[in-house]
Every structure is written in C-alpha cells, then in structure tokens.
C-alpha cells in the first residue's frame, strides 16, 4: 500500500493536527468505518474513515487511486472527535 500526499498539505496537517499524512500508511483500514465526504463538490470521491492508529482512533480523509487497488492519496489525518469515536463504537 502506498500513500501519496501534497507536501504543503502535509506541513499544514502537522501544524494543525500534530501528525504527518505519511502516517496514513499505518492506519488500520480493516477495522475502520467508512463514509463518503459529501460536504462539498470536490470534483473527486473523497472517503472519510475512522479507525485505529497507534491505539487511538483517527479520522482519515482520502481518495482511492483508481489505477492501483491499495494505493491512496491522503488529504487529512487527525485524532477522531468525541462524536466520531462514539459513532465508531456504536457501529461495532
């Protein structure tokens, strides 16, 4: 699995959320809960996943690479909010 991301966006994500988008490689996709991000028309299909990373729940926004099955482009990675954690627990 390969993750791509915009280096400038990565720097902003580190400043804002304290974590690099590169860490999305370690995200546990197998136990994640997925939703589509329909909040805006981004011109692409964005997915939002809440799942485990370093024994904490994180929220990852990403776009799947249409050419490579397991590859994706990370857009945002942050600790899950309380509401996201509660929603995750209810889904299990």
Which residues does 78 contact at the CB level (< 8 Å), separation at least 6? Answer: 13, 16, 17, 19, 58, 59
Q: What is the pTM of this model?
A: 0.92
Question: Looking at residue 80, what is its pLDDT?
Answer: 98
Domains of the chain: 3-91 (3.10.450.530)
d(CA 2, CA 22): 9
HSE (side-chain half, CA atoms, 13 Å) at 57: 17
Bridge-based pairing of strands 56-64 and 72-79 is antiparallel
**What does the pLDDT profile of the chain (92 residues) look like in tens digits?**
789 999 999 999 999 999 999 999 999 999 999 999 989 999 999 999 999 999 999 999 999 877 767 789 999 999 999 999 999 999 98
């Amino acid at each position: 699995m390969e993750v791509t991301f915009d280096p400038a966006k990565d720097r902003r994500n580190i400043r804002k959320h304290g974590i690099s988008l590169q860490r999305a490689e370690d995200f546990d996709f197998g136990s994640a809960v997925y939703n589509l991000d329909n909040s805006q028309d981004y011109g692409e299909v964005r997915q939002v996943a809440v799942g485990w990373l370093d024994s904490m729940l994180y929220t990852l926004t990403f776009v799947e690479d249409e050419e490579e099955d397991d590859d994706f482009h990370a857009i945002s990675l942050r600790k899950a909010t309380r509401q996201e954690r509660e929603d995750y627990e209810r889904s299990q």
